[in-house]
Structure 1
Amino acid sequence: MTYETDLAVAERAGRLWPCPCGADNPPAYDTCHDCQRPSWTCASCGTVNSQALSHCQQCDNTVASDAIGDGEEGFEMTWEEFVSLQIGPRRVGGRYGDAGSAYEVLAIDRGPRPGWPSWHITVRDDDGHVRETCTGWNPQHDRVLAQ
């Protein structure tokens, strides 16, 4: 495929990432097509970010997906990085959902706390039920409805 084809496909899918130089790039590109500035993909929400900022433009996470590593050892994260990955782009007052349900985030307790769960999010489901959850964000499954 060519850059123009990749760009058109990404534009139709709404998956372009903007570079500070002004160029738009397909998500599969790890550098800007125009200025060759490197990019990184957020491990928490999957957003492609330009290297100009150290925080994800979508969820404020700082961990790149390729930093998590592969194999048996992987990447050793700090507590803050782990919780940031688990919470993902969720913010208090935002609405989020998955294939069959939606919820509003009422509070986020980042912990750490003794015992389980060591962190949790308080949510209100569409039926008004308030509950606590420690289910991590899955960028392939979960979606942002309103921030």
Structure 2
Amino acid sequence: MTYETDLATAKRVRRAWGCPCGEDNPPHYDACHACQRPSWTCASCGTVHSTAWSRCEECDNAMPAELLGDREEGFEMTWQEHIALKVGPRRIGGRYDYGDPGSEYEVLAIDRGPRPLGTWPSWQITVRGRDGQVREHCTGWDPRKDRIVTQTHLDKDVVER
């Protein structure tokens, strides 16, 4: 493989990351091909960014996946890290979908827990579907299929219970 073919493949699947120097890079490159600025991968949505950015431009998360360790080998996460991965880029007032037509929903509340030991679910999200029905669930964000329809940038994204 060459840089050109790697980049063409990354652009085809919309996974190339742009560097402030103006170059695009394949997601598996750990530094910009042109200026050698290192990159980081967002722990919530998996988007790759240059280290020049301190927050993910896709989901507004600030936690690099590299800080969490290697998922394949296993690692210890704090409660906050675990919930950040489960909630993903969802914010109160934002609209998202599961990747299927008609699956759009609006987030009404996010209860990050934790709840008393043995209580299930340990965290939950309250949503309103296109049918107007309000549901509570603890389905984690899946960056491979879930999608942001409209994002909100509210400072407070947690409803205390």
- Once the two structures are superposed, the pairs formed by residues 111-126 of structure 1 within 5 Å of their partners are 111-114=113-116, 115-126=119-130
Amino acid at match of 1:142: D
* Corresponding residue for residue 18 of structure 1: 18
* Corresponding residue for residue 48 of structure 1: 48
**Structure 1: where are the runs of 5+ without partners?**
none
Q: Partners in 1 of 2:57 and 2:75 — Cα distance?
A: 22
Structural RMSD (CA): 2.0
**CA deviation profile, 1:82-118 (whole Å, cap 9, x unmatched):** 1110001111122111243221111112222222222
* Corresponding residue for residue 27 of structure 1: 27
Amino acid at match of 2:9: V
- Once the two structures are superposed, the pairs formed by residues 54-93 of structure 1 within 5 Å of their partners are 54-59=54-59, 60-64=61-65, 67-69=68-70, 70-71=72-73, 74-93=74-93
Deviation at 1:19, TM superposition (A): 1.4
Q: Partners in 1 of 2:58 and 2:137 — Cα distance?
A: 22
* Corresponding residue for residue 134 of structure 1: 138
SS in 1 for 2:80: helix
With normalisation by structure 2, the TM-score equals 0.78
Q: Partners in 1 of 2:43 and 2:111 — Cα distance?
A: 20
Between the two proteins, the alignment pairs up a number of residues equal to: 145
**Structure 2: where are the runs of 5+ without partners?**
152-161
Q: Partners in 2 of 1:12 and 1:99 — Cα distance?
A: 19
CA contact under 8 A between 2:40 and 2:64: conserved in structure 1?
no
SS in 1 for 2:20: coil
SS in 2 for 1:124: strand
* Corresponding residue for residue 107 of structure 1: 109
